[in-house]
Structure 1
Amino acid sequence: MITADAFWTILVATLASINCSLVGTYLILRKVAMVGDAIAHATLPGIVIALLVTGSKHSSILVVGAGMTGLLVTFLIAFLEKKVKVQADAAIGINFTFLFALGVILFSFFSRKIDLDPECSLYGELATVPLDVYRTATGISLGPKAFYTVCIALLINLFFLLIGYKQLFVSTFDPQFAQSIGIRTTSWHYLLMAITALTTVATFEIAGAILVVALLIVPPTTIYLVTKCFKHLLVCSILFAMLMSIGGYYLSCLFNSSMAAAMVTVGGCLFLVVYLFVRFKNR
């Protein structure tokens, strides 16, 4: 019999995994997967600054602060790559290490003024999801705040991906053809980066940088080993990410370990199994 706390934790983790796998599929196909890593790490200074300015740990305020630095890093990467002519991987590495280091310095300098555990930026707070809930005036619980955060992010993601399905599809597989038929590939690229920032920030607060990056990269990369059909890749990546989240939760309960680390471990093991299966099948 599953408990209420376990139900909410698994549900929030599953919704977060769906969010990340949807966006991560496009990142993998466009060969900019590590942009998600950059955004996840670059959110730390935004969170610290939001706490300093407002003095509040309300999730919406932290999302705004983290989102601003998340968008900033995408524009800085594009600037270094296109204007300064720095290689894409180098531009990503320079920006996310700089901003993450800046966040660590800000946290260390203002540690007495803010109530923030730096380990949460790596491991998240999945275990505390059922504790932070919305309540009515009469004290009735309306569910965890994190649940509403990931639901809103999921609705925005689905709306964006449905509206821009054709544009994103064509510009992902054939950018030159997309430009020839009037699709603004640069604009759609930045919109995708904005959605990536939104998704990363919405998931970062509860999952941390480690799990966010794993959910963005591992599911679509694993499924890409067995299918090249885009629609199958999207659907199967979602299923893989859900399995990764649910399996990781029970693994963390079994060994009393970090939930984020357990979910990433499950994802890595599943990737290895799929890889070995593909190699054996192709012999």
Structure 2
Amino acid sequence: MTYTAWILLTASLVGISCGIVGVFLILRKMAMMADAISHTVLLGIVVAYLLTHSLSGIHMVIGAAVAGILTTYFVQWFHSRGVGQDASIGLVFTTLFAIGVILIATKVGNAHLDVQHALMGEISFVPWNTVAVPVLGNIPLATLMLLIVLFIVIVVIGLFYKEWKLTTFDSALAASIGIPVVGLHYLFMTLVSVTTVASFDAVGAIMVVAMLIAPAAAAYLWTDKLLVMLFLSAGFGVFSAVLGYYFALWIDSSISGSMAFSTGIIFLISFFISPRHGLLSNWIRPARDRGTGPSSQFGR
């Protein structure tokens, strides 16, 4: 595959994985959890580096994953003790991210590990860091990780689809019929953490947040069916990746930043023209209803 093809494939895998997971985040009204996890994984990366003094290897992924999962547990722990959900997220997110920034400034030294790279990522470097895979040959490590994570996301969502659907829309009913709501919640947030970590190194925190929230929010405007929403969200994620890449080439700008910008454009278009909840549709529908009321029909 060409250099451009690897970048587009990697970004598309991010769009599909984040798009699927993001649907449930949006429906559960936990969109800001994506922002929290995508930032607090920085602490896990820094701690992993301080323990191993290496910027490559599985230990970086493990450290980031542990930080993401801890974020989830801390937020839930505070919330279960009376702190509001949004306040819990804000408290944990800012504290853990700040600790990571402080450690970078005071402990990391001359290592190539900085906050800007963590926030924006550098997807243009992805094709150069390859690993040999039987049958497939040499493929970028980030792409391989994202393929594995996408497989895990599809399997987990598919195996527990009915349970996810019920716990998302009516958790009380789910608990009353014996579905382990709390266990599924932690499983889902672990899935969010793993998806975020796999995407983090290649595209940075900003694009991860954009891909988790914007495609799902746009899909929500187009349909009321969960399965359709999942496919739409994944499709919007892929389209954002492709559009953002060529937009970045056109204006000679950050690839990840342009992809994140594209997700916002897709959401805005959906916000205005989607047939079910779009602003234009909501404006036309009442006018049409007024035009087809009893008095007008009688006049005809």
Structure 1 and Structure 2 fold alike (TM over 0.5): yes
Structure 2 residue identity aligned to 1:281: S
Q: How many correspondences in the alignment?
A: 277
Match of 1:109 in 2: 106
What is the rounded CA distance, in whole Å, between the counterparts of 1:62 and 1:226 in structure 2?
38
CA contact (8 A) 1:133 1:141 kept: no
- The unaligned stretches of length 5 or more in structure 1 are none
| Structure-to-structure mapping, 1:224-239, within 5 angstroms | 224-239=220-235
1:224 corresponds to which letter in structure 2?
Y
Shift of 1:115: 2.8
Give deviations 1:192-227, integer Å, cap 9, x for gaps: 000000000010111111000000000110111121
Identity over aligned residues, as a percent?
Answer: 37
Task: Supply the RMSD in Å over aligned alpha carbons.
Answer: 1.4
Q: Is the 8 A contact 1:38 1:73 kept in 2?
A: yes
Q: Deviations over 1:19-42 (max 9, x none)?
A: 101111011101111111111110
- Change in Cα spacing, 1:254 to 1:141, as seen in structure 2 (3 Å) is farther
Runs of 5+ consecutive residues of structure 2 not aligned to the other structure: 285-300
Greater Rg over alpha carbons, structure: 2
Residue 26, structure 1, aligned to residue 14, structure 2? no
Please give the alpha-carbon distance, in whole angstroms, between the structure 1 residues aligned to 2:228 and 2:102. Answer: 44
1:99 is the counterpart of 2:96: yes
Equivalent of residue 50 in structure 2, options 49, 52, 70: 52
Report if the CA contact (8 A) 1:146-1:206 is conserved. Answer: yes
Residue 142 of structure 1 aligns to a residue whose secondary structure is: strand
Within a 5 Å distance, the mapping from 1:115-154 to structure 2 comes to: 115-135=112-132, 142-154=138-150
- Other-structure match for 1:187: 183
Q: Distance in 2 between matches of 1:179 and 1:250?
A: 47
| Selected match of 2:213 from 187, 203, 217 | 217
Is 1:266 paired with 2:255?
Answer: no
2:238 aligns with one of 238, 242, 250: 242
Contact 1:127 1:259 in 2 (8 A): yes
CA distance in 1, matches of 2:175, 2:156: 20
Q: Aligned residue for 2:280? A: 280
Structure 1 residues 86 and 272: alpha-carbon distance in aligned structure 2, compared to 1, 3 A threshold: same
Match of 2:203 in 1: 207
C-alpha contact (below 8 Å) 2:50/2:108 kept by paired residues = no
Taking the aligned partners of 2:50 and 2:36, their CA distance within structure 1 comes to 23
Instruction: State whether residues 8 and 241 of structure 2, in contact with CA within 8 Å, keep that contact through their aligned partners in structure 1.
Output: yes
CA shift digits 1:213-259 (9 cap, x unpaired): 00000011011112111111000001011000110011111111111
Structure 1 runs (4+) greater than 4 angstroms displaced: none
Amino acid at match of 2:281: K
